[in-house]
Amino acid sequence: MSDLIRKDLKHVWHPFTQMQTAQAPILITRAKDTLLFSEDGREYIDCNSSWWVNVHGHGNEHIANAISEQALQLDHVIFAGVTHPKAIELSERIANLLPQLLQKVFFSDDGSTAVEVALKMAFQFWYNQGKSKNRILALDGAYHGDTFGAMSIGQRGYFNQPFEHFFFDADFLDFPDSSNENQLLEKADELFASGEFAALMVEPLVQGSAGMRMYSASWLDKLVAIARKYEVLVIFDEVMTAWGRTGKLFAMDHCALKPDIVCLSKGLTGGFVPLGLTVATEKIYQAFLAPEKTKALLHGHSFTGNAIACAAACASLDIFERATTWENIARIVKSHEDKISRFENHPSIESVRMIGTILAIELKSEEGNTYFSSLRDQAYDFFLENGLLIRPLGNVIFLNPPYCISDKQLHFAYSKIGAFVDSLSN
Ligand SMILES: Cc1ncc(COP(=O)(O)O)c(C=O)c1O
């Protein structure tokens, strides 16, 4: 064990990790494009874009230069009563990329805080108008982050059991599938008809942490239409689905009906530095305008609007303006599509699903679809031994690589996933 790892184990408390039983972490000292290089001379393909954030790969020079220039020009400045060119540029560009009504950009630090801001916007939108609408409808299996508001509207279970008694009540619709879609819409209609709902919050088209579970844009359109009928605000949590993951810039680009609020983070800065955005319609913004200061959105963070993060995000947007980025996304989509038949009807596989650059393979498991599935550890170790960093979600193995991944690297990943699933049925 290296000296650095010894120091890590002495002082570092890692996220989502049982420190007593976990293996020592891998010491990564350098990364470039899709590759992570470890201290002991090994290399790993970063198949899940380092918690789904590094959309353009590591060490991208355009983003690195933008960060460096910004750091020398203006690193950070208080964002209340002060503004700066990069925040203005980013807000304008984001508003131009989103559907026309989404115009007002609120800055925070990460996905969870972008969600907290969205919830506070929704609750206060009604509060400021003197209307009592305090309920939120979410989908079963949802994950919106690890802060208390986000946990309240997420799947209850092992992850948040110790805190559950602190959560505000939320209502959940079952996850839609071909057998229950209409029933769920009827249930939503019934719930919304109570007039008590402030908002509907969904991860559009894909529930990431639930195991890359996917549902159709047409069903979501129907759900949003019901929300509209009863004046329920619609929030799309696009923290995971934005930035080309679903094959389009935003998942909402697959939908006919658009949200009133959208949460953005992860790939927003190309995965270089943390940043969260909550973008709302002009109508929502207007409800916070009043002579009384108490009607304002009294929320903020020390790093709100950080100039370096804004510069990274603008540089990432530049890369999305390049044709090569979209050619790469299309190449990955095609490659996944061509590979599906390799995994379908496999005796060890329950189902294969894909949207855009996400390919998910759900393994058959007697433990069911659980994050603590023992298959998960088996798969994780197997992939590491083979030079792939793939962090399965329970019994769901998935690929959502940086868009610069080469065909050769993609095919290497498919072949090792194939070898792993074959080993389960032998
Ligand atoms: C859909 C969704 N929302 C919110 C979050 C929370 O983001 P963060 O981890 O940046 O707080 C995540 C994280 O995975 C997510 O997938």
Q: So where are the chain's domains?
A: 3-59+323-425, 62-320
**Mutation probe of ligand 1 site: the residue of 240, 252, 278, 393 with most atoms within 8 A of C-beta:** 240
The DSSP-derived string for 329-389 is: HHHHHHHHHHHHHHHTT-TTEEEEEEETTEEEEEEP-TT-S-TT-HHHHHHHHHHHHTTEE
Which residue, by CA, sits nearest to atom 8 of ligand 1? 111
Cα of 240 vs centre of ligand 1, distance in Å, is 7
The number of the ligand 1 atom at minimal distance from the alpha carbon of 150 is 4
pLDDT reported for residue 373: 77
| pLDDT for position 158 | 85
The rounded Å distance from CA 54 to ligand 1 centre is 14
In the numeric block, the tokens 């279970």 are attached to: 157
Return the closest-CA partner of residue 300 out of 278, 283, 284, 281. 278
pLDDT at 1: 84
* Residue 370 reports pLDDT greater than 70: no
**Residues 238 and 251: beta-carbon distance below 8 Å:** yes
Of residues 425 and 272, more confidently modeled: 272
What's the token pair of residue 79? 């964002």
- Ligand 1 pocket at CB < 6 A: 110-112, 115, 143-145, 203, 208-209, 237, 239-240, 265
Q: How far is the CA of 111 from the centre of ligand 1 (A)?
A: 4
Closest-lying ligand 1 atom to the alpha carbon of residue 147: 11
Under the banding of pLDDT at 50, 70 and 90, the label for residue 90 is very high
Residue nearest to atom 3 of ligand 1 (CA): 144
Please compute the mean of the pLDDT values over residues 284-300 and round it to a whole number: 98
Geometric angle at alpha carbon 109, from 135 and 272, rounded to 5°: 135
Residue 367: pLDDT band (50, 70, 90) is confident
pLDDT of residue 379: 97
For residue 346, count other CB atoms closer than 10 A to its CB: 17
Give mean pLDDT, residues 386-397. 97
CB-based contact 128:295 (threshold 8 Å): yes
Q: How confident is the model at residue 188 (pLDDT cuts 50, 70, 90)?
A: very high
Q: What is the pLDDT of residues 93-125, one digit of tens each?
A: 999 999 999 999 999 999 999 999 999 999 999
Q: Using the predicted structure, report yes or no on whether residue 292 has a pLDDT greater than 70.
A: yes
Q: How confident is the model at residue 402 (pLDDT cuts 50, 70, 90)?
A: very high
CA of 241, closest atom in ligand 1:
1
| Residue 242 to residue 246: CA distance in whole angstroms | 7
Q: Alpha-carbon torsion 57, 63, 65, 70, what sign?
A: negative
pLDDT-above-70 percentage for the chain? 99
Going from the Cα of 144 to the center of ligand 1, the distance in angstroms, rounded, reads 5
pLDDT confidence of residue 366: 82
Q: 265 C-alpha vs ligand 1 centroid, how far in Å?
A: 8
Average pLDDT estimate for 371-385: 91
Which ligand 1 atom minimizes the distance to the CA of 142? Answer: 1
Number of the ligand 1 atom closest to the C-alpha atom of 110: 10
pLDDT beyond 90 at 302: yes
| CATH value of 62-320 in 3.65.10.10, 3.90.550.10, 3.40.640.10, 3.40.50.10190 | 3.40.640.10
How far, in Å, CA of 404 to CA of 215, rounded?
27
Per-residue pLDDT for 426 more than 80? no
**pLDDT at residue 322, as a whole number:** 98
Q: How confident is the model at residue 374 (pLDDT cuts 50, 70, 90)?
A: confident
CA of 113 to the centre of ligand 1 (A): 9
> For residues 299 and 157, what is the distance between their CA atoms, to the nearest angstrom?
29
Q: Which atom of ligand 1 is nearest to the CA of 266?
A: 10
Q: Could you tell me which CATH number the domain at 3-59+323-425 has? A: 3.90.1150.10
Q: Strands 171-173 and 135-139, how do they pair?
A: parallel
The CA distance from 95 to 101, in Å, is 9
Residue 141, pLDDT score? 97
Going from the Cα of 70 to the center of ligand 1, the distance in angstroms, rounded, reads 26
DSSP letters, 297-329, are -----TTTT-HHHHHHHHHHHHHHTSHHHHHHH
CA 32, 36, 39, 43 dihedral sign is negative
Mean pLDDT for the chain overall: 97
How high is the pLDDT of residue 337? 98
Cα separation of the two ends of the chain: 34
- 79 with 305: CB under 8 angstroms? yes
**Alpha-carbon Rg for the chain in angstroms:** 22
Q: What is the pLDDT of residue 368?
A: 67
Strand order in the sheet with 358-363: 349-355, 358-363, 396-399
Nearest to 141 by CA among 153, 126, 128, 127: 153
For range 234-259, the mean pLDDT: 98
The tens digit of pLDDT for each residue in 135-173 reads 999 999 999 999 999 999 999 998 999 999 999 999 999
Taking CA atoms only, the protein residue closest to ligand 1 atom 9 is 111
Residues 6+ apart with CB under 8 A from 250: 97, 98, 238, 241, 242, 262
- Identify which of 159, 266, 272 to mutate to test ligand 1's pocket (most ligand atoms within 8 A of the CB): 266
CA–CA separation, 214 and 140 (whole Å): 13
**CA 112–ligand 1 middle distance (angstroms):** 6
